[in-house]
Structure 1
Amino acid sequence: MNASAPRLTRLLIIEPDPALGQALQQHLNGCGHRITLCESGRDGLAAARAGEFDLVVLEAMLPGVGGAGLLEMLLEARPEQGAMPVILVSAHDGEQQRIEGLRRGADDYLAKPFSFDELEARISAILRRVALERLRWRWPAREGQHQCGELRFCRDTKTVALAGQPLALTETEFRLLYALCTHCDQILSKAFLYQTVLLRRFGRHDRALDLHVSHLRRKLSAVGGEDRWLRTVWGQGYMFSFGQA
């Protein structure tokens, strides 16, 4: 029996310069990636919402919505799959631009003009890191279900029920609630939750985790849970507890 061919890495490139975009597409195709190329932020966002990508290469100075605004929308484009890693590229190489891009949630920042080989090396490094971080997500051995108070988690269906009432959770929300419940009554830092749940680095101005927490509180309340179970510990992180606040 022949071994299965390795899956091609799916990359989304959002680059308004047609010549550069096509050159990038040709080079990265040759490196074994499957490329979707978009020249506008609108088309790039639509592609991200419709498809599944392992990484995005995004021009930071897009006309219209702008790379910074588009970056935030890309990070939430497919919440059920977790945030996609993003490499920002830009002709602006000032320290402030790099810091702002990373704070907004980018995984890397590369100044133009850049070597295509360097871009490929950075893509490979990020994909290796993401793969290793995903290996950290572990369910207890030989357990198909996990109980926390009245919450019952099912590994096979990635579902949670509260006193028999199912919660309509995305995969990211499932991982977040499971991480919090398996560390019940413990404060989990945002940095830890970003690494283990959102599978990326924590940026001080990144609000993606806060959004997931807000959605999770609302969904718990909808099936009879209480907001106070999922607590914000200011300056430290989040804690799940069935005890009194």
Structure 2
Amino acid sequence: MTRLLLINAGTSLVYDLIHLLHKNNFEVEETNEQDVLNQSEEHYHLAILDISHTKSDRTVILRQIREHFTIPIIVITAGNAMNRITCLELGADDCLSQPFNERELITRINAILRRINVSPHTLKKSQENYYITYSELVLDIKKQQASHNDQDLGLTSTEFILLQLLITHPGQILSREYLSINALGKHITPFDRSIDMHISNLRKKLPRRKDNNLWVKTQRGKGYQLI
């Protein structure tokens, strides 16, 4: 059974969330924003962070958790689109605003699990241990880790998948729609900048090339290209 970590940052909706997730056959463990840093991500497939009613600084909470975990994180927040954009900038894999449709949350969880090769309700055997290399970049597919000159880049799962897609299509322009479907499990919608935020975060973690250029180039109106 798929294991989810529910991080409760002071919301009263936690029991409703647990009931919803159990009803959809997920195993759930609850923790709070203080104790979450003592958890090992190896025990979970995905984390849900509910900061919709917290009185603490939401950006600090998310930043600390993102630094601790590389597994996918879905953030539940309150407020306007700017809050959702901030969540994506800080490394969230997806973000929902209260109030949200319960079916939409489950759909987004399953979409993320599919793209990281985890069946929604069963554990899959690990992939064969193999590597993809591109110049100084090395991707460890089994560990879902990327390195540059043997230095771990600390990519999130979404950033890793984006880099893997780009590396396996060197020189090709990959559309935002293609990247969104394969990395986020959803189609691009009007004003949706999720892919752009994740690419921006990926660029920040990638050192410059030997020629001092960026690894990922924007092709305006077309998409992104690994050079």
Moved >6 Å (runs of 4+): 159-162, 198-202
* Range that drifts further, 226-235 or 122-131: 226-235
Please give the alpha-carbon distance, in whole angstroms, between the structure 2 residues aligned to 1:49 and 1:179. Answer: 32
Alignment of structure 1 residues 157-168 onto 2, 5 Å: 165-168=149-152
1:76 partner SS: helix
2:200 partner SS: helix
Please give the alpha-carbon distance, in whole angstroms, between the structure 1 residues aligned to 2:160 and 2:17. Answer: 35
Distance of aligned partners of 1:132 and 1:145 in 2 relative to their CA distance in 1, 3 Å threshold: closer
Distance of aligned partners of 1:78 and 1:126 in 2 relative to their CA distance in 1, 3 Å threshold: farther
Alignment of structure 1 residues 73-222 onto 2, 5 Å: 73=63, 76-78=66-68, 80-81=70-71, 83-88=72-77, 90=78, 97-104=79-86, 105=88, 106-111=94-99, 119=102, 121-135=103-117, 144-146=130-132, 148=134, 155=141, 165-170=149-154, 172=157, 174-190=160-176, 192-193=178-179, 195-197=181-183, 203-204=192-193, 207-218=197-208, 221=209
Please give the alpha-carbon distance, in whole angstroms, between the structure 1 residues aligned to 2:97 and 2:136. Answer: 44
1:183 partner SS: coil
User: Which AA in structure 2 matches 1:169?
Assistant: L
| CA radius of gyration, larger in | 1
Please give the alpha-carbon distance, in whole angstroms, between the structure 1 residues aligned to 2:31 and 2:160. Answer: 32
Q: Which runs of 5+ in 2 are unaligned?
A: 89-93, 119-126
Identity %: 15
Number of the residue aligned with 2:124: none
Please give the alpha-carbon distance, in whole angstroms, between the structure 2 residues aligned to 1:48 and 1:191. Answer: 35
Contact 2:10 2:53 in 1 (8 A): no
Q: Which runs of 5+ in 1 are unaligned?
A: 1-5, 91-96
**TM-score by structure 2 length?**
0.61
Distance of aligned partners of 1:59 and 1:148 in 2 relative to their CA distance in 1, 3 Å threshold: closer
Distance of aligned partners of 1:180 and 1:15 in 2 relative to their CA distance in 1, 3 Å threshold: same
Distance of aligned partners of 1:122 and 1:57 in 2 relative to their CA distance in 1, 3 Å threshold: farther
**Matched residue count:** 201
